[in-house]
Amino acid sequence: MTEAVKKTLAASHRAAIDGIVMLENKNGALPLRNGESAAVFGRSQIDYNAGGTGSGGLVNTEYQTDILSSLEKSDVEVNRTLAAFYRDWVSKNPVSTDGGTCSSRPLSQKEPQIDEELMKKVSAESETAIVVIGRSAGEEHDSVNAPGGFLLTEDETELLKAARGHFKKLIVLLNVPSVIDMGFVGEIGPDAVLYIWQGGQEGGAAAAEALCRASPSGRLTDTIALSYADYPSSEGFDAKDRIYYNEDIFVGYRYFETFCPEKVLYPFGFGLSYTDFEISCRAAVFAEQNISLTVDVKNIGAAPGREIVQIYAEPPKSKMPRPKRSLVEFAKTKTLAPGETQTLRIKFPLSRLKYYDDKNSEQRIDGGEYKLIIGKNIRDKSCSVRMKLSKDIIKKRGRLAAPKEPFRRLIGFDGGPIYEDAPTAQGGKSGAAGGKTKRKAFSGIARPRKYKFEDVKSGGITLDEFVDAVSDKDLACLCRGEGMGSKLVRPGTGAAFGGVSKGLQKLGIPCAAATDGPSGLRFDNGDKAALAPIGTMLACTWDIELIEEIYSCIGGEMIENDIDMLLGPGLNIHRNPLCGRNFEYYSEDPYISGAAAAAALRGLESRGVCGTLKHIAANNREEGRKGLDTVLSERALREIYLRPLEYAMELSEPKAIMTAYNGLNGEMCGSNYELITEIIRGEFGFSGMVMTDWWAFLGPCSASSTKNSAAMLRAGGDIYMVTKNSEKNSGGDNTLKELKSGNLSSDELRRAAKNILKLIINIVIRD
């Protein structure tokens, strides 16, 4: 094991503790006392789910901690009878992989039957029952609103009931990638419930440590509703070809706190620890562009711990429907001893208050009185301050990436949902380029090769001069990534790009290596790396510095393995709890999603490598993802699904973006001109490289193809990922054909080439 891997695991261990969210702890059930006898149920105590499936979690590791072995090393007396029973049963009933593909692992695994005789024997020996419930999900594998998925199975429910009836204390650990149904809390009444999520290699050890001594400091980054049907996205989530985001901007707590607070079991930002805190606001300063708060946090309990100060804004009345409140900033304390106070100075820009009026194509901050709620979660009102803006702040925008046809979107609630027609695109235009750029004729003559790429790095020539001397054939080749497992770069990686042909290599263009993923380096050849906690768990730490440290450590692993680009972090929104890749993403809230992603990027770039923000935009379901047309309003796109990207750009300097598989209002994301060029490049100011997802479909949703690379280039994308052989154009893309016909301009091809080469200069040709 290398030093870089050891550093990643050390930081990951801390995150796997700090990201645990404790939702219940009645009668001081936790922490477990020294010498306390505990009986541990559930196969996931041994077969711990360390991460999700697919490209975001399939990391080969040197070892894996589990809960049972870790508890046996603690001061707790683990019931030996039950431990021996589970070890024997698990050895005879190995984990099912449904064929072994990266996305086919079942959502849940077979559990043993615990008969009455064994239950009586074990409960006579131990006073505490710990039940571990495991779930899996991942790429191309959404969860389901059924037993074994979002719901508990009958066997799991009966086990909980039996444990409740036989033991003095019942503790439930949820080893899951995303929130699940929590109806069992009211029905069975466990003493303690913890989301231990999927904590990577060190997750089992971290869970044991949190049970025994380390105070959990994680807080929810999603709302937990009473039932799946209460989530506004539940209806139509499984639509086949086209999915409508009828809830509009009212995602997660924006929906529940505004319209249906009674349908919430655990609110956004909620979590308990082994102590308690008092929060007070000492001072508030409202400058022209920034808001500054001075907040005191005091540990008023009997144990050390950390608290998260969460700040929510309540807006004045508006002509547009607005959420009751929204997260604008947060900060986490250090570990405070009992009686200790820490003063936090928190500053954030006025722009956190903006919203989008898609009826008038305006970005707005309304004048009027705002209330800032400062507390421990979205419902805690430890203190509040008021501020007043004297006038509206308005920026005009163009109507972009809007739906082509009207559909119903949520605007209110009065005994039931109230809907209106969402504004549509002007003239019904699609998201494609549609003749927006000047075409240049194809000369058919290769340009003279006067320069070497190293001359650009040294400053001898400009990048424009270099690209002008490259043939159209080589430029087209440059706009193809090669993989998986390209022989041009380190074995086992996800892709190579840059010098992928003999012609490009003669020009001195090196190959860059890219590989998955958000939770650690994934090598298809079996090479080992560190597996960090899933994205959701990292976000639940609310510890931006720790997230940055973890990704800095992963950056060190990348350097050791000759990897230039990490295909992550993922910053898609948790629109629905069934999305299979929720584990890779951070939250239902745009701000914490963008802040966490920015921290990851800063960590990677501190080591001279880079990350890739993905998947842009509205990638919120896995089943049928490559052909799914996502229909949503321009306001929802800008306020919810693109807002994390905007925040990430505000808080870091991203160099690469990956577009999503899905369509967006009729045009595939990878070829959506208004999304890529007008909004991301034009309004947000992104100047880096835009790549597609692997083997993405391009063009209109009604006639998309993996071969339509010209549509990607016209839209402002730069590189198609991936093809088996870039030099031979094994994917059969139409770049040169469309260039020759005049449907693709030389300027568009050159722009893409320059964006790719700028990135390579930054991440491959290092000083």
Structure-token pair, residue 187: 């029905």
Q: Tell me which residues are annotated as active site.
A: 693
Whether 653 and 266 have beta carbons less than 8 Å apart is answered as no
**Residue ranges per domain, the chain?**
20-216, 277-403
* DSSP string across 527-558: -----PPPHHHHHHHT-HHHHHHHHHHHHHHH
Lowest-confidence segment of 55-59, 171-175, 207-211, 342-346 by average pLDDT: 55-59
Give burial (CB, 10 Å; 0-12/13-18/19+) of 319.
Answer: exposed
H or E element that contains 371: strand 368-375
Q: CATH fold of 20-216, please?
A: Rossmann fold (3.40.50)
What is the Cα–Cα distance from 678 to 608, expressed in whole angstroms?
Answer: 29
DSSP state of 657: E
What angle in degrees, to the nearest 10, is found between the helix axes of 590-605 and 643-651? 40
What is the Cα–Cα distance from 137 to 298, expressed in whole angstroms?
Answer: 39
Per-residue pLDDT of 614-649, as tens digits, reads 999 999 999 999 989 999 999 999 999 999 999 999
* DSSP string across 423-487: P--GGG--SS--S-S-------SPPP----HHHHHHTSS-HHHHHHTS-HHHHHHHTEEE-SS-T
What is the Cα–Cα distance from 752 to 689, expressed in whole angstroms?
Answer: 8
Per-residue pLDDT of 452-501, as tens digits, reads 999 998 899 999 999 999 999 999 999 999 999 999 999 999 999 999 99
Per-residue pLDDT of 512-550, as tens digits, reads 999 998 999 999 999 999 999 999 999 999 999 999 999
Query: What number is the average pLDDT over the span 395-415?
Result: 95
Query: What number is the average pLDDT over the span 132-138?
Result: 96
The vertex-600 CA angle with 594 and 601, nearest 5°, equals 90
**Across the chain, what does the average pLDDT equal?**
95
Task: State percent of the chain over pLDDT 90.
Answer: 92
Compute CA 325 distance to the chain's CA centroid, rounded to the nearest angstrom: 22
- Going along 500-617, which residue ranges are E strands? 511-515, 565-566, 610-611, 613-616
CATH 1.10.287.130 corresponds to the domain 277-403: no
Per-residue pLDDT of 200-259, as tens digits, reads 999 999 999 999 999 999 999 999 999 999 999 999 999 999 999 999 999 999 999 999
pLDDT band at 57 (very low <50, low <70, confident <90, very high): confident
Phi, psi of 336, deg, nearest 5: -100, 130
pLDDT band at 767 (very low <50, low <70, confident <90, very high): very low
Residue holding tokens 């003559």?
445
Q: Do domains 20-216 and 277-403 have the same CATH topology?
A: no
What is the Cα–Cα distance from 752 to 475, expressed in whole angstroms?
Answer: 9
Q: How far is CA 313 from CA 6, 124, 270, 283, 381, in A?
A: 41, 53, 17, 17, 12
User: 592: Cβ–Cβ under 8 A, 6 or more apart, which residues?
Assistant: 221, 327, 330, 539, 542, 586
Q: Going by DSSP bridges, is the β-strand pair 277-286/242-244 parallel, antiparallel, or unpaired?
A: unpaired
Comparing 376 with 440, the larger pLDDT belongs to 376
Evaluate if residue 436 carries a pLDDT over 60. no
